[in-house]
Chains A and B, each alone.
Chain A
């Protein structure tokens, strides 16, 4: 990936903080760690992405086991209300900065399950989404393309989803509590 670096297109005057932010962003884009968590049928496409044929690890993308180590969560396919509860909990346990990729048409508008009684239709009402990958199902190449887009956006400092979540936490909570009726989740103090 790495032709464009943090030294390109520098304005003349930058503060120390801004420079360090660019350096940090460049490093973050080189090692996107994904939590090994699949929500729907799309998780069947995640496994081959990390095998030797597609080999996502050449770009620093690898699977990790716990939310505390992960930078990225991939929402792979349809999301039921029951799974959404787990996704919110996983997302809130991840360390900042954190990124969300929505894979497939179901998180975008419900896909073929748009009229189901327990799958959600609008994912960005509940958690902020940075990259959408369309298709039903997207092949591993499309997923890797989504990762490359995400890395380029991180390098340019354009990924603001997790900040948006912190700023609008009450709106997100209102939407989440509307469909998760028995809210028995812990409050994480970020």
Chain B
């Protein structure tokens, strides 16, 4: 596996290599290199399965991180390939020509983070939300408590501490007996 990684290092701009476990390597690649790297991993090195696409919001750095996890079942090994894209311009290219089931992963990321994927025909359909008209809810600048209070209200006494105190008093009396 070290041979393969060194070969990849020569050909692609790979940085921040981390051996998380014996069977999991994490590294970062430039976003222009990702598609050719995935193509080579799938067709030459038998990483035949795209396990998932994850997204993280680095608000302070102004970046979105996409993690593509691919699996080689013959050697039982996984690569988690990270790509950083600009937060101001959340656009990327789709990989549905390599794995067709990436369509639904990309649709989910489009709905929850607002990242659009060029080449994905169904990305603007609903995934889990219906008629959402605010900023995407998994972005870190979305204030979920404020949204909840404005739209769904709050039952009076929800934050009352009287009940907890009462339970604590009763529990102490009960445990003495």
Contact = CB atoms under 8 A, between A and B. Distances in A.
A34 interface: no
Size band of the interface chain A makes with B: 20 to 34
B129 A122 contact: no
B158 A114 contact: yes
A122 B148 CA distance: 11
Interface stretch (B42-50, B65-73, B130-138): B130-138
Interface stretch (B77-85, B115-123, B139-147, B167-175): B139-147
B152 A121 contact: yes
A117 B142 CA distance: 10
A110 B144 CA distance: 14
A116 B144 contact: yes
A179 interface: yes
B155 A118 contact: no
* 9 residue pairs, one from A and one from B, having the closest CB atoms: A109-B155, A181-B131, A121-B152, A182-B131, A117-B137, A115-B145, A117-B144, A82-B130, A109-B158
Interface of A: 81-82, 85, 108-110, 114-122, 125, 178-182
5 contacts: A115-B148, A121-B155, A122-B153, A178-B151, A181-B133
Given A117-B147, A122-B154, A179-B152, 13 more contacts: A82-B130, A109-B154, A109-B158, A110-B152, A114-B154, A115-B145, A115-B148, A117-B144, A121-B148, A121-B152, A121-B154, A122-B152, A181-B133
